[in-house]
Amino acid sequence: MRKYLLKRVFYMVLTLFLVATITFFLMKLMPGTPYSNQEKMTPQQIQIMNEQYGLNKPIWLQYLIYLGGMLHGDLGTSFQYSNQPVSYLISSRIGASAQLGLQAMIFGVVIGIIIGSFAAINRNTWIDTLCTILSIIGKSVPNFVLAVLLQFYIALKLGWFPIADWGGFSYTVLPTIALGVGPLAETARFIRTGMVDVLNSDYIELARAKGLTKFGIVYHHALRNSLIPLVTLIGPYTVALMTGSMVIENIFSIPGIGEQFVKSITTNDYPTIMGVTMLFSAGLVVVILLTDIVYGIIDPRIRLSGNGD
Amino acid sequence: MKINKFAKLGTVVALSSVFLVACGSKSSSTASKQVLNWNESAELPTMDLSTATDVVSFDTLNNTNEGLYRLGKDSKIEPGIATKTQVSNDGMKYTFTLRKNSKWSNGQKVTAKDFVYSWQRTVNPKTSSQYAYLFSGIANADDIMNGKKAVSTLGIKAEGNYKLVVTLDKKLPYFKLLMGFPVFFPQNEKAVKEYGSKYGTASKYMVYNGPFELTKWTGSNLSWTLKKNSDYWDKKNVKLSAINFKVNKSTTTSYNLYQSGKLDETNLSAEQAKQLSNSKQLVTRKGASTFYLQYNQTKKEYQNANIRKAISLVIDRKQFVNKVLGDGSTVAKGLASTGLAKLNGTDFADAASVKSAVATNRAEAKKLWAKGLKELGVTSLDIQLLSDDTDKAKDSTAFVQSQIEENLSGAKVSVSNVPFKTRLARSVSGDFGIVISGWGADFSDPISFLDLFTSDNSQNNGKWKNTEYDKLIEASKTTDAANTTKRWNDLVKAQKILLNDQGISPLYQQATATLVKSKVKGVIYNAAGVNYNFKDTYIAK
């Protein structure tokens, strides 16, 4: 197991290095400068600014300097937010995004499992059809449409929750629902399909013959086996949600990281682009590793390494 | 102009309130709670006035700090830290006497040295100020910015604590207007040194000398509060006790918050503005930016004036601003925006307008087009139309494309909508046929627009050239600089030359539709430079 983990960690570091390298050079191919008032600056002024920021150095040298800084934990200073260290911009904003993403994921997966199981147990009845219709709607209605509707009817008209902003738990309810409906629908669909297969298998027949309760069969035997395809999905999904959903964050005015990333690209804010890309990539490689470990826990048949260490 | 009406109303109410107070009915028109809840559509990136580049930063700086002057309604110069200004006969030397009762929030007095320090800091190439170019004209500024002279040679000297002398190396007829722009405000050296790299990155790492103090800003959050500055020299005329700013990037959200009473102001999308066009709370803020077609005159086809005129004449600009944009934007009268500058009651935009330059006349266009094609010896023309990839820019290119293709036979328009930075890069390198671009004024003077199209201006991407135009602009800065009327006439003539020749084809003047609660009075909005001044704002009953 240790040998396996070491090997995996080595590949993770290699992946991150490749991501950093490719992103850096691709980013430098984008036209323009990181200066927001570029339009009004003369070429000489831009030249002087480039010298100040070291942007006139050869790209390979800039790359080495950046890499050196990153190894020392220095992600550089943002251009959009002058003097603001990128590490501060990320750390002050990632909290809200992570909380929202995690809540949405938990909400979506838990409710999705319940709905999916319910549909599978009652397959081919009106309950199943209803659950299927609900999950199709959940999957096909874009989350920003749902967000706007929730905001208008639940927050403005009924006044049950705040319209926007970020404060206590009540502020998180509507964005969580809006963001969680996608994973909810996806989970419900996966669980239903998986469970219908499992419920038809011989060992479930056996469990029934043994006289186990319906709940016991579903919970202990059917659910566990239908979770495997879902785990593959949940990992990357969680990272995507936690690192920010720009649209939902904008609609509910949440101080998250989603828009910062998009804005950093359109404004050529090089250090921020790199910082957020590295954060996202690191999150992803860690989650992929965790997913593989979780596989083994859910299903011992999936071995992490050949020797079963 | 709606903004004027609104501001006038504000003034009338303000005056009547003064009158009523004088009559002894004290609490007649102002509400007991003087708190304003204002919407922002973007974050506050910095409070360092030397490195600020965006509207939110400049607006916040303008309300929390103060320079020699403040800009009031219609960019009128109002007293700030300068109590007296002496200008030498040749217009090259300004001597300011400063007030002694202006204080920083760290307790220090605002002195002439703070101005010297601030200006030197901004023009120092090491500071990397993106607005330092505005200092061009102040003695030695250009050389300092290019690293050829020491910052100490800048034409600004403190004579004692309360006398400031500024020397110029060319006349700047708009010099006083510049003094209302935050880049020219003073900075407290002690604070800059003490906070070091953190200076201006959060409300606690900054000092203030203006009507309000910034609080609750962490450097990256979406809300902050301006609190009345109890040490401000003119605090008795500041009525608001606090202004709460909230960043809402979605206009749907801010409109919902506005309706629920959580906000007193909101921006509107074009769609919302169309729906609310009859609302009494609708206030259209005219910007000092004009959008136009710029032709690449290094290419033979666009050197042909008939081709340029034909293209301009087929565009129905009224239909464009009303049906396509619908956000309160108006048909541009010329290059310099309406409401920017006035002389004897006449707006520059009217004085320098050329009706045929923004008119629609398709019969004439077809004739000119045919003539142009003949001169070029071709029967068809491929036009590469470039602009940004925002919704508005896409609507603009689609509209212009259809107007040209429908009306000019043999014209084939290929459109590229690219991100802003790419558009800029392609404009600079001349990789376009026609580009729809915009220009915003930094200060309320037509020269802020007209300078752009002189032959040697490096930002004149279309490379339109006209010697007469260059001469007039030069005269406005030299021989006629001190004579307001002559200078005005030079600029009027110059813009007319540009328009008659269709060096550019103006499209529209940008505006933003907003809703403002009717109880909010005395908001000063200026299109050029800094937008909002809340010093005189109050909440009526």
State pLDDT tens for residues A157-205.
898 999 988 988 999 999 999 999 988 998 898 888 888 888 888 888 8
pLDDT at A304: 55
Cβ contact B406:B454 at 8 Å: no
Q: How far apart, in whole angstroms, are the C-alpha atoms of residue B222 and residue B327? A: 25
* pLDDT attached to residue B27: 46
- Residue-wise pLDDT tens digits, B35-49: 999 999 889 999 999
Interface check for B198 against chain A (CB to CB < 8 A): the answer is: yes
Nearest C-alpha in A relative to B390: A266
**Contact by Cβ (8 Å): B370, B385:** no
Nearest CA in chain B to A246: B249
| Contact call for residues A115 and A137 (beta carbons, < 8 A) | no
Average pLDDT value for residue range A77-86: 87
Question: What DSSP character marks residue B47?
Answer: -
Q: Would the CB atoms of B146 and A48 count as touching at under 8 Å? A: yes
Q: For A36, which residue in chain B has the nearest alpha carbon?
A: B53
d(CA B340, CA B158): 33
Look-up of token digits 């921006």: B267
- For chains A and B, what is the number of CB pairs under 8 angstroms? 135
The whole-chain average pLDDT of chain B stands at 91
Tell me what pLDDT residue A297 has.
77
Domains and CATH numbers, chain A: 86-302 (1.10.3720.10)
Residue B293 sits at φ, ψ, to 5 deg, of -90, 130
In b/e form, how buried is each residue of A200-221, taking b as 16+ CB within 10 angstroms? eeeebeebeeeebeeeebbeeb
**Contact: A83, B54; criterion CB under 8 Å:** no
Say if the Cβ atoms of A38 and B421 lie within 8 Å: yes
Q: Nearest CA to CA, how far is A244 from chain B (Å)?
A: 15
pLDDT band at A212 (very low <50, low <70, confident <90, very high): confident
Q: Do A36 and B46 touch (CB under 8 A)?
A: no
**Using an 8 Å Cβ cutoff, are A253 and A164 in contact?**
yes
| Other Cβ atoms within 10 Å of B93 Cβ, number | 15
Its ipTM equals: 0.85
pLDDT at B376: 94
* Residue in A36, A42, A163 nearest the CB of B253: A163
Per the listing, tokens 């004085």 go with: B351
3-state helix, strand, coil in chain A (%, to 5): 75, 0, 25
Q: What is the pLDDT of residue A52?
A: 83
pLDDT beneath 70, residues of chain B: 1-28
Say what the pLDDT of residue B18 is.
39
What's the predicted TM-score (pTM) here? 0.87
**Chain B from 299 to 358: CB within 8 A of any A CB:** none
At residue B428, what is the residue type? V
B387-400 pLDDT, tens digit each:
998 888 999 999 99
At residue B255, the pLDDT reads 95
pLDDT of residue A303: 61
Q: Which A-chain residues 170-199 have CB contacts (< 8 A) with chain B?
A: none
pLDDT at B515: 96
